[in-house]
């Protein structure tokens, strides 16, 4: 059996529907709380004494290609506890309906948060516009930052490295929680004093993973003298690889002599290896020419 569509079905649970006004691109629903009383946020005492009323405008999920806004009637109550410092307070609708000090419903905030997580700022804002969601790229990023739950347990194992605001121009410091695999904070620069000040605020850290540079090591040693400093895996492998390749380059002539190969077949090389080999041959020719000139000069002067 078919049932008719009811405007009141658009209203979040916990709110009562009072009326509707619409236009070509938007729907405004007049709603109010179903509760007869509200709880004082300071002393947690329920009160039924209404002091005054005011209107809040809250964005909600779109419907049928049109934006939906709630015209939310909000009551101010008088606290009935004589010694409570909060004499007058506004009713709260619950974090699952309209979060405190928010201009969006909880269900819209949830969608905005996930759009920001999935797409970032500008791409998510462009996509949200097509979905009739009234949010900007800055709003998306603010929601993501605000709703990102910070760990309640103290940090124990952190990783520190630099990161680029703009490559080759300005760098900062990134701090990660290696146990939870998440970013903890971004510091504005790579200065030892900045990193040391941040580490000093987290004395529970017992392991600091860092690169092999001296700046972060000095900061960790001064701020957390009892913490263990370790080289992170990426930098360890990168430095070991660079040291190995450098040793091979310095000993290349002896390696060729040992394996009995004095020439290299260019057809067996990759494009990058061919470029390096051609550079090597040019340097060898230059060295031979310089040696010949020096020899000629010595013969001439003698």
Are 225 and 174 found together in one domain? yes
Per-residue pLDDT, 261: 59
pLDDT of residue 302: 56
Residues 183, 129 share a domain:
no
Co-location of 89 and 196 in the same domain? no
Taking only the tens place, the pLDDT of each residue in 215-248 is 888 999 999 999 999 988 888 888 888 889 888 8
**Interstrand relation of 15-22 and 26-33 (parallel, antiparallel or unpaired):** antiparallel
The answer to whether residues 20 and 75 belong to one domain is yes
DSSP category for residue 13: T
193 three-state secondary structure? helix
Task: Indicate if the pLDDT at residue 212 is higher than 80.
Answer: no
Q: What's the rounded Cα separation, in Å, for the pair 204 and 154?
A: 6
Q: How high is the pLDDT of residue 151?
A: 56
Helix (H) or strand (E) holding 75: strand 66-78
71/94 same-domain check: yes
Percentage of the chain beyond pLDDT 90 is 22
Model's pTM, two decimal places? Answer: 0.50
**252 in a structural domain:** no
95 and 208 part of one domain: no
Mean pLDDT of 118-138: 86
The mean per-residue pLDDT over the stretch 137-163 comes to: 81
Give the count of domains, the chain. Answer: 3
Full residue range of the structural domain in which residue 91 is found? 12-147
The mean pLDDT of the chain is 85
Confidence of residue 56 (pLDDT cuts 50, 70, 90): very high
How confident is the model over 274-291, as a mean pLDDT?
87
pLDDT value at position 77?
Answer: 95
What pLDDT does residue 1 have?
42
As given in the structure block, the two tokens for residue 75 are 């009551």
User: Within a domain: residue 126?
Assistant: yes
Is 52 inside a domain boundary? yes
Please provide the DSSP assignment of 101-142 as one string.
T-SB-HHHHHHHHHHHHHH-SHHHHHHHHHTT----HHHHHH
- Do 135 and 161 have their domain in common? no
pLDDT interval class at 186 (50, 70, 90): confident
Average pLDDT estimate for 171-185: 88
Q: What is the per-residue burial (b if ≥16 Cβ within 10 Å, else e) of 48-59?
A: eeeeeeeeeebb
Residues 207 and 184 grouped into a single domain: yes
| Domain contains 243 | no
Residue 235, phi then psi, degrees to nearest 5: -65, -35
User: What is the structure's pLDDT at 301?
Assistant: 60
> What's the confidence (pLDDT) of residue 79?
92
């Amino acid at each position: 059996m078919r049932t008719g569509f009811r405007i009141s079905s658009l209203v979040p649970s916990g709110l009562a529907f009072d009326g509707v006004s619409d236009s070509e691109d938007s729907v405004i629903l007049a709603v109010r709380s179903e509760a007869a009383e509200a709880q004082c946020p300071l002393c947690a005492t329920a009160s039924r004494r209404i002091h005054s009323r005011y209107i809040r405008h809250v964005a909600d999920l779109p419907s049928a290609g049109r934006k939906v806004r709630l015209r939310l009637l909000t009551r101010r109550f008088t606290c009935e506890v004589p010694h409570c410092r909060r004499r007058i307070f506004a009713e709260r609708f619950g974090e699952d309906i309209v979060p405190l000090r928010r201009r969006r419903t909880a269900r819209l905030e949830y969608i905005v948060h996930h759009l920001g997580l999935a797409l970032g700022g500008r791409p998510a804002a462009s996509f949200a516009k097509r979905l009739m969601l009234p949010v900007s790229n800055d709003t998306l990023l603010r929601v993501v930052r605000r709703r990102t739950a910070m760990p309640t347990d103290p940090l124990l194992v952190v990783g520190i490295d630099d990161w680029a605001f703009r490559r080759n121009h300005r760098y900062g410091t990134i701090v990660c929680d290696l146990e939870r695999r998440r970013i903890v904070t971004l510091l504005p620069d790579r200065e030892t004093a900045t990193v040391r000040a941040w580490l000093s605020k987290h004395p529970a850290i017992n392991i600091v993973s860092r690169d092999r540079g001296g700046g972060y090591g000095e900061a960790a040693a001064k701020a957390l003298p009892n913490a263990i400093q370790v080289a992170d895996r990426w930098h360890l492998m990168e430095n070991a690889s660079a040291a190995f390749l450098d040793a091979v380059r310095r000993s290349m002539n002896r390696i060729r002599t040992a394996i009995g190969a004095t020439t290299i077949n260019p057809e067996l090389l990759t494009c990058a290896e061919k470029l390096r080999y051609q550079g090597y041959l040019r340097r060898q020719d230059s060295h031979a020419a310089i040696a010949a000139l020096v020899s000629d000069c010595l013969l001439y002067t003698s």
